[in-house]
Amino acid sequence: MAYHHLGKLRQAQEHTVAAAEAFLAVGDVVNAAHKFINAATVAQERERHEESQRLVHRAECLAKSPLLTLAEADQIRERIQPTGRMVVVGRAP
């Protein structure tokens, strides 16, 4: 995420969501879910908590896909850790 390193968090989030949508469009559920989680992390950094929750929810929905193995679904769910009202997302494996 080159934008992230330049401090351009809005662009980083937008491009990460676009990547997630592109993965989803070709049926790559695993990478789409991880990109949505990455975008949620950036949204948290931007203090856009509702956006972060929405992106996490998309990843949670994808984790329920019958196209995933149990290990893939678990890996996605492990990156999403609820703490009260906030969701803390972990780094990609």
Q: What is the pLDDT of residues 54-76, one digit of tens each?
A: 999 999 999 999 999 999 999 99
Of the candidates 25, 24, 56, which has an alpha carbon nearest to the alpha carbon of residue 39? 56
Predicted TM-score (pTM) of the model is 0.83
Confidence class of residue 84 from pLDDT cuts 50, 70 and 90?
very low
Structure-token pair, residue 32: 């789409």
Q: Which helix (H) or strand (E) holds 42?
A: helix 29-45
Confidence class of residue 92 from pLDDT cuts 50, 70 and 90?
low
Mean pLDDT, residues 6-23 taken together: 91
**Per-residue model confidence (pLDDT) at position 10:** 93
Query: In whole angstroms, what is the distance from residue 45 CA to residue 77 CA?
Result: 20
Q: What is the pLDDT of residues 22-46, one digit of tens each?
A: 999 999 999 999 999 999 999 999 9
Structure-token pair, residue 47: 């203090």
CA 8 centroid distance within chain: 18
Q: Who's near 1: CB < 8 A, 6+ residues apart?
A: 12, 15, 16, 38, 42
**Per-residue model confidence (pLDDT) at position 6:** 53
Of the candidates 91, 76, 93, 82, which has an alpha carbon nearest to the alpha carbon of residue 45? 91
